[in-house]
Amino acid sequence: MNPPARYAAADLVAGRDVLLVARRELAPGTGRATVVRAAPPAPDIAAALAEAARAAREADAAIVVVGTTEHGESEGYDRTDLALGAGQDALVHAVASANPRTVAVVNSGGPVEMPWREAAGAVLLAWFPGQEGGGGLADVLFGRAEPGGRLPTTWPAVLADAPVTRTRPVDGRLPYDEGLHVGHRGWLRQHRTPAYWFGHGLGYTTWTYEELSVPPFWRAGRT
């Protein structure tokens, strides 16, 4: 749920002790936990990207795992953007540029912007897979299991393209006048092409639909 947090920065020198004091007053009858933790030093982004590209060039194939965290996506608040953040886009670009056989694995609970999606050899959406995610991912990548899932939502290329971003109350009122133009139909109404449509998904085989027909009339309650 990403509870409120307070941050403080300190310059650390090897071999020098730093005293950290945290005080908090709790009202009677309340039960709250206080956690004090230290973040690791910020990495050298340029050096890390160069090392990732070098490793990718020397490999037969590369797998890059990216995704969101509780700091950008949670049940307790709304997301402000769809960016992966923390230099992850640059990481995929660097690896995919060094090795076209790059698989980008995305761990997220909803749509994210993927400006590198055309550069990667494949994109695998794993959502938040749980403790067996590693084994399941290996089975899919090595062909022991079919990645048979299909998108339950439409994913925009950029947040500004999503129809919902233009839904704003006016004078305290928000009319729901879109009618049938909700979900993926909203994209058809505004004539914009998303990154991936509702129902998108590929696998290790191909198939075709033949002899499809649509009745000239339809009745409410049927699709």
Least confident of 76-85, 97-106, 137-146: 76-85
For 58-117, the DSSP string reads TSSSEEEEEE--TTT--TTS--S-----TTHHHHHHHHHHH-SSEEEEEE-SS----TTT
Token readout for 108 is 């997220």
Q: What is the pLDDT of residue 111?
A: 95
Domains of the chain are 45-145 (3.40.50.1700), 152-205 (no CATH)
Confidence at residue 222, expressed as pLDDT on a 0 to 100 scale:
62
Q: What average pLDDT does range 179-206 have in this prediction? A: 87
What confidence tens digit (pLDDT) does each residue in 108-120 have?
999 999 999 999 9
Longest pairwise C-alpha distance within the chain: 79
At 12 the pLDDT is 82
88-104 per-position pLDDT tens digit: 999 999 999 999 999 99
- Number of residues that make up the chain: 223
Residue 154 DSSP class: -
Q: What is the mean pLDDT of the chain?
A: 88
CA distance 102 to 36: 38
pLDDT of residue 3: 65
pLDDT-derived band at 40 (thresholds 50, 70, 90) equals confident
3 state SS of 40: coil
In this model, does residue 1 exceed pLDDT 70? no
pLDDT-wise least confident of 36-40, 78-82, 123-127, 132-136:
36-40
